[in-house]
């Protein structure tokens, strides 16, 4: 029967963008629905204080790139807009360590590290990865010194980054895809990668996968939120969207597609799967939905000086430039915002309190620190030039801990909630992170002579860690009792629906997961047949 589209893709992040390009190349009629808006380079906020262009809160008139979600056990930072998380991620593209591929939750019988190796290579080329950030400044020296002080100097390395370094500020024809992609401008090291790159140097998905997909006929509809996906008795699926953030005139539209790709980010994809299962729209979704939800076992702490060191320039460079390992499973990266972008880091930071206490104990420790040194704490907490006098530490682990997500009724609507899952408890703090930021703070003070202290975050005080890398809950698996999608990323029981974003990742990678999500998606669509050709993937047996 005739369908409106061969494939509808929900979301335009690292999974959805791969789907758009690879399926367009194979002759499919592709339509992408993206809840966020489309940004040209000059549309991004200049600093994080431009809240309407920076934060995503559409019902409040904010249509920016930074989403914030909250669960009982974690606060989640995610992306919004055409290009998804690539618009505000730190353009850091590590390949995970072998322990990630050895996790027990991968489908058995496959050497996943070997299986994904060629797809990592493809993802690395497509995202324009520079193997090592080449510049050295105060932050890079401090991170190297902190690693030495912790006795792990041999683990220090410069980050692989997805940025066109080129000649700073100089615009040139596409240097990556034989002129088929957009013109690019060399990085000016302004530090505002995570606000949205106004220079045009960051290798966002708009500059590679999505640009090439649109050249091949893929259609991208911005500001359309998918609210329903259901089986059509006539065949295929009905996908319903409405205008993002609308209070009244929602302008609902429904299209019929032969197949659907869910790539709305872990939060968005899980929300759709839970709701469609509960409503009966997709009744055969596995009971395992929501299980093995990962936070990358993360913490976001840091170190801040009472004033801007004269020669420091902590805000100069790309967002993440170096890392080291505190131990075999704990990875620490420096993170920066550019000058003037003080809202996010400064507002979230507070006294680093001992994590092995109750919430009441942490509050007592915080109040005690404020009482002992009120003027110093006031200077440390000030937002003025925060990004120029602070270094954020993103700490990630390959630990096998997880949450289980489910729906609960709240104020007349179904919302996601969490409880502890399998493996170790999802941590409310990381002692290793506290050690790392203490070492970073000492090095900062030694280098500059300016009083510097380690800092934690307000959510951590209340036992709620922060993560920028929310994963899992619809994981790849060898059977529907162990996960939601099969080894070819098809939803068990509904093989015409596919999950190719972070929700399919079954383990904590312990590094930034964007390259892994891209590689998994490349593998999934490498197995799709060309339009009209025989599908050689095995049928689902579960």
Report the alpha-carbon distance of residue 199 to residue 114 in Å, rounded.
Answer: 37
Report the alpha-carbon distance of residue 134 to residue 206 in Å, rounded.
Answer: 24
Contact (CB, 8 A) for 378 and 293? no
Which candidate in 469, 494, 498, 533 is catalytic?
Answer: 469
Reduce the DSSP state of residue 347 to 3 states and report it.
helix
What distance, in Å, lies between the first and last C-alpha atoms of the chain?
27
**Alpha carbon separation from 106 to 100, 366, 478 (Å, rounded):** 9, 41, 8
Cα dihedral: 47, 52, 57, 61 (round 10): 180
Task: Using alpha carbons, select from 288, 525, 368, 334 the residue that is nearest to residue 437.
Answer: 334
Report the alpha-carbon distance of residue 186 to residue 193 in Å, rounded.
Answer: 13
Report the alpha-carbon distance of residue 97 to residue 526 in Å, rounded.
Answer: 24
| Residue 383: both structure tokens together | 């937002």
For 235, left (φ over 0), alpha (ψ -120 to 50), or beta?
left
For CA atoms 206, 340, 316, 149, give the dihedral sign. negative
Q: Phi/psi of residue 301, each to 5°?
A: -120, -160
Contact (CB, 8 A) for 203 and 163? yes
| Residue 411: both structure tokens together | 């104020």
Report the alpha-carbon distance of residue 498 to residue 402 in Å, rounded.
Answer: 23
The CA-based angle 483-242-15, given to 5 degrees, is 40
Q: Has 434 been annotated as catalytic?
A: no
**Alpha carbon separation from 133 to 91, 95, 163, 388 (Å, rounded):** 11, 15, 9, 20
Contact (CB, 8 A) for 63 and 52? yes
Report the alpha-carbon distance of residue 92 to residue 163 in Å, rounded.
Answer: 9
Task: Using alpha carbons, select from 40, 505, 10, 532 the residue that is nearest to residue 295.
Answer: 505
Contact (CB, 8 A) for 14 and 86? yes
Q: Report the catalytic residues.
A: 469
């Amino acid at each position: 029967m005739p369908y409106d589209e061969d494939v509808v893709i929900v979301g335009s992040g690292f999974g959805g963008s791969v789907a758009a390009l690879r399926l367009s190349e194979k002759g499919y009629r592709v339509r992408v629905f993206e809840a966020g808006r489309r940004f040209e380079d000059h549309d991004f906020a200049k600093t994080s204080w431009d809240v309407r262009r920076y934060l995503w809160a559409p019902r409040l008139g904010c249509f920016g790139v930074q989403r914030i979600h909250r669960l009982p056990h974690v606060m989640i930072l995610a992306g919004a807009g055409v290009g998804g998380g690539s618009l505000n991620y730190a353009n850091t593209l590590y390949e995970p360590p072998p322990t990630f591929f050895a996790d027990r939750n991968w489908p058995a019988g496959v050497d996943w590290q070997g299986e994904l190796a060629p797809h990592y290579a493809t993802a690395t080329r497509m995202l324009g990865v520079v193997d090592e950030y080449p510049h050295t400044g105060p932050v890079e020296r401090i991170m190297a010194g902190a690693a030495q002080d912790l006795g792990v100097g041999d683990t220090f390395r410069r980050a692989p980054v997805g940025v066109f370094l080129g000649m700073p500020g100089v615009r040139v024809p596409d240097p990556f895809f034989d002129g088929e992609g957009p013109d690019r401008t060399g990085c000016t090291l302004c530090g505002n990668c995570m606000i949205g790159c106004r220079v045009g140097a960051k290798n966002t998905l708009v500059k590679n996968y999505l640009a090439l997909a649109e050249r091949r006929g893929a259609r991208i509809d911005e500001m359309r939120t998918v609210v329903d996906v259901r089986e059509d008795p006539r065949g295929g699926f009905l996908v319903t969207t409405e205008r993002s953030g609308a209070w009244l005139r929602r302008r609902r539209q429904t299209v019929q597609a032969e197949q659907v790709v869910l790539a709305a980010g872990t939060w968005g994809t899980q929300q759709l799967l839970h709701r469609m299962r509960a409503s009966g729209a997709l009744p055969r979704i596995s009971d395992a939905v929501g299980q093995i939800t990962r936070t990358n076992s993360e913490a976001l702490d840091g170190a801040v000086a009472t004033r801007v060191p004269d020669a420091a320039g902590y805000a100069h460079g790309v967002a993440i430039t170096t890392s080291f390992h505190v131990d075999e499973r704990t990875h620490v990266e420096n993170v920066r915002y550019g000058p003037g972008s003080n809202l996010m880091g400064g507002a979230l930071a507070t006294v680093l309190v001992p994590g092995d206490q109750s919430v009441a104990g942490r509050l007592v420790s915080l109040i005690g620190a404020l009482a002992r040194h009120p003027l110093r704490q006031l200077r440390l907490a000030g937002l003025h030039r925060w990004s120029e006098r602070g270094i954020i530490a993103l700490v990630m682990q390959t630990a096998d801990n997880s949450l289980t997500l489910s729906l609960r009724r709240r104020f007349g609507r179904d919302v996601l909630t969490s409880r502890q899952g399998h493996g170790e408890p999802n941590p409310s703090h990381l002692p290793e992170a506290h050690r790392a930021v203490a070492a970073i703070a000492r090095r900062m003070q030694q280098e500059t002579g300016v009083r510097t202290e380690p800092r934690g975050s307000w959510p951590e005080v209340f036992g709620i860690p922060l993560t920028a890398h929310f994963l899992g809950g619809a994981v790849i698996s060898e059977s529907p009792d162990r996960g939601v999608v099969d080894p070819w990323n098809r939803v068990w029981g509904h093989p015409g629906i596919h999950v190719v974003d972070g929700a399919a990742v079954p383990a904590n990678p312990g590094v930034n997961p964007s390259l892994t999500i891209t590689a998994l998606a490349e593998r999934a669509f490498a197995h799709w047949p060309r339009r009209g050709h025989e599908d050689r993937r095995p049928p689902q047996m579960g």
